[in-house]
Amino acid sequence: MKNKLILLSVLLLCIAFVSINKNAFKYPKYFPKPVYALENNNRTEFKIELGRVLFYDPILSKDNSISCASCHNPYNAFAHVDHSLSHGINDKIGKRNAPVLFNLAWQKSFMWDGAINHLDVQALAPITHPDEMGETISNVLLKLNRSQSYKQLFYKAYGDSLINSERTLKSISQFLLSLISSNSRYDSMVLGKIKFNTKEQNGYRLFQLHCNTCHREPLFTDFTFQSNRLSIDTSLNDLGRYSVSLLPRDSFKFKVPTLRNIEFSYPYMHDGRFKTLAQVMNHYNSIGLINENILKELRKVMKLSSNEKVDLIAFLKTLTDKKFLFDAKHTYSKNNK
């Protein structure tokens, strides 16, 4: 009897341990600490699943035609391929290119200009934007409340079937937080599992020399707002960070984007003006990028030869994470009907 009890408690402990472990937020040791406060939004598989169903459901848009995934495609690291500017309901065209979605737990602010200050409230922007999903949050809640299957999903995630905006938004956050990309060739190299070939190695050297100050390893962004001296598109006249901070020095500055999965997230820049990485290289080469964060005497104008450009691109391609791009856990769910 006593033995059985001990056995039972050991078993229970194991189950508890496994379930805690299953809900832990996992990331590589060489990543910094996440900024998202997970203690205010406990991670569970049911919340992630609910968020995933919402992400792929056009119910979030006014005419039930557009889902988050319409603009954020999982096979392109959740960027909007083939469209330089995003498309919303009634074929309305937005003014910016949809960015990739992963490693969002490390981001302090969202959007190209940092207008959104917390991942939980991010989804409100596309849902209510007239050119994107054109819906109101109260109407979304009405629609969700009418759905029997959502009642069940909320029940599983929260222990009762109450559907409110806080739960809806936090579930979407849980799905977005679960999108972690950390299985590229670059990551294997950092972990010492593989060695770069000579081209990649040379590209890595050039990257560290010219790009790493802004696109800082290991997330490949320092999360600041900078100008990489793109010419100003007068048809959009997008003032970037200035529209949030109202500081003149922030005019035409944009958030430094991550370069992970860059091979698959074309077109590039906030307005999607470049279709290929070669065009991006030519842009940086033509402005003669100067690394301003190193000693004045060491500053060198970037002047890459065509071989060096090829090597730099070879390095950028080591940031492709196929496991992430084709992870079945991130795509349309069986609960999406």
Question: Looking at beta carbons only, is 173 or 265 nearer to another protein?
Answer: 173
Q: By three-state DSSP, how is residue 44 classified? A: coil
Q: Which of 257, 251, 259, 258 is nearest to 270 (CA)?
A: 257
- CA 84 – CA 232 distance, rounded (Å): 15
Q: Encoding tokens for residue 137?
A: 């949050």
Yes or no: say if 112 and 240 are a contact pair by the CB < 8 Å rule.
yes
Does residue 60 bind ligand HEC (CB under 6 A)?
yes
Can you say how many angstroms the Cα of residue 60 is from the centroid of all Cα atoms in its chain?
A: 20
Site string for ligand HEC, 177-216 (x = CB under 6 A): ---------------------------------xx-xxx-
Does residue 236 bind another protein (CB under 8 A)?
no
Q: By three-state DSSP, how is residue 165 classified? A: helix
- What stretches of the chain show up as alpha helix (H) in DSSP? 2-23, 45-55, 68-71, 119-122, 124-128, 137-145, 148-158, 165-177, 185-190, 198-210, 242-245, 277-287, 306-317, 322-325
Site string for ligand HEC, 294-323 (x = CB under 6 A): ------------------x-----------
Q: Encoding tokens for residue 79?
A: 């960027």
Q: Which stretch binds another protein (CB under 8 A): 19-27, 70-78, 148-156, 239-247?
A: 239-247
Q: Encoding tokens for residue 213?
A: 């100050």
Interacting residues with another protein between 162 and 221 (CB under 8 A): 164-166, 169-170, 173
Looking at 141, 194, 209, 230, which residue binds another protein (CB under 8 A)? 141
Partners of 274 in the β-ladder: 268
Place of tokens 């890459």: 304
Question: Looking at beta carbons only, is 44 or 282 nearer to ligand HEC?
Answer: 282
The residue count for binding ligand HEC (CB under 6 A) is 49
- CA 34 – CA 229 distance, rounded (Å): 30
What's the N-to-C CA distance of the chain in angstroms? 49
Site string for ligand HEC, 82-121 (x = CB under 6 A): ----xxx-----x-x-xx-x--x--x--xxx---------
Residues in contact with ligand HEC by CB under 6 A are 55, 60, 66, 68, 70-72, 86-88, 94, 96, 98-99, 101, 104, 107, 110-112, 122-123, 126-127, 132-133, 172, 176, 210-211, 213-215, 226, 228, 230, 254, 256-257, 259, 262, 265, 268-270, 280, 284, 289, 312
Residues in contact with another protein by CB under 8 A are 37, 40-41, 115-121, 124-125, 127-129, 136-138, 141, 164-166, 169-170, 173, 244-246
